[in-house]
Structure 1
Amino acid sequence: MKQHEADHIQMTVPAKPEYVGVVRLTVSGVANRLGFTYDDIEDMKIAVAEACTNVVNHAYQGKGMMNVSFYLYDNRIEIIIADRGQSFDVKGLRERLGPLDASMPVGDLKEGGLGLFLINTLMDKVEINDESGIVLMMTKYLQGDEVELNVDGVSSAQPEQ
């Protein structure tokens, strides 16, 4: 069975603090459209803002572009943030990505490491490549079945008299 092609949204914005909010709003809108819960959307907004802020603070000091891509699947969203303004080949990129090692002591992480630690906590999967600049891919899975079960359980509970 052929895997469903993902919808792809790509944006390139100046690597300046005032554009971090634009990316956060985009994440919120896209994730809401896919049916993510409020809490998951808030987690994604924090993770994306943290990743974008790292680019703004460390990559260019406000002089350059930041590339943000969203890949929308039936069961997940993949968000890629790169500190280079050029487009990138996702298939080739996937081969070079590696997991973020969150087991490292926080003090051993690179500058901005606390941000990476936070991102890793908020997202389901985080991968990073730092060959030419930083490319961070964050994945959040849609937990639809879990939410449905919880909703049914709450609605069927009878209040005690």
Structure 2
Amino acid sequence: MGHRPEADIIELTLPARADYVSIARLTVSGVANRMGFGYEEIEDIKLAVAEACTNVVEHAYDCEVGLEQHFRVRCLLQSDRLVVEVIDQGKGFGFDEQRESLKPIRSDVDIDEVAEGGLGLYLIHSVMDDVRVHVKDGVVVSMTKYLRRDEVSSNDQSSSKTES
């Protein structure tokens, strides 16, 4: 008898171009739907994935010659959560410095004055339950969304009535 893995893994490798970000979003959306996430949670996951993938497309491979300019999206499906990793082999960045600048958008600041840098990371942090960034020989952005099951079972007979 084989040992069942802790998580099912689904992985895509995509060219680091903007027109492939939608494929990553669509794939992760389907995975999240299959796991039982609700509409709003799926929209949050899609937003986070799009931001992480867009960061790769826009920043990871700036003028780096000789590197294969691809990124991977890995989904780890666990019983109580979905972990999505966006992985590239491009140049790293000063995440600790970026983290210090992750602040909510203030209502007293005009939207034109909000700095673009770091806004994607702020959005990712605001919609996902846990976010970790590993910078070494590329960047791995690991984003976790926990599956919150309803307290009432979907098989509850008291809420539905069948007439014969």
Shorter-chain TM-score range: 0.7 to 0.9
Residue number in structure 2 paired with 1:91: none
* Bigger helix fraction: 1
Runs of 4+ in 1 over 2 A off after TM superposition: 99-107
Residue number in structure 1 paired with 2:39: 38
- What TM-score do the two structures reach when normalised by structure 2? 0.71
In the TM superposition, residue 102 of structure 1 has moved relative to its aligned partner by 8.7
Residue number in structure 2 paired with 1:121: 126
Q: Which runs of 5+ in 1 are unaligned?
A: 86-98, 156-161
Q: Is the Cα–Cα contact under 8 Å of residues 43 and 122 in structure 1 kept in the other structure?
A: yes
Secondary structure in 2 aligned to 1:137? Answer: strand
* Distance in 1 (alpha carbons) for counterparts of 2:13 and 2:81: 22
Residue type at the aligned position of 1:106: L
Residue number in structure 2 paired with 1:104: 100
Aligned residues: 134
Structure 2 residue corresponding to 1:130, chosen from 115, 131, 135: 135
Structure 1 residue corresponding to 2:77, chosen from 63, 72, 81: 72
* Distance in 1 (alpha carbons) for counterparts of 2:135 and 2:30: 29
In the TM superposition, residue 101 of structure 1 has moved relative to its aligned partner by 9.0
Residue number in structure 2 paired with 1:20: 21
* Distance in 2 (alpha carbons) for counterparts of 1:140 and 1:102: 22
- What TM-score do the two structures reach when normalised by structure 1? 0.72
Residue number in structure 2 paired with 1:141: 146
Change over 3 Å in CA distance of 1:100–1:48 after alignment to 2: farther
Identity fraction in percent: 50
Residue number in structure 2 paired with 1:55: 56
With 124-133 and 13-22 compared, the bigger mean Cα shift is at 124-133
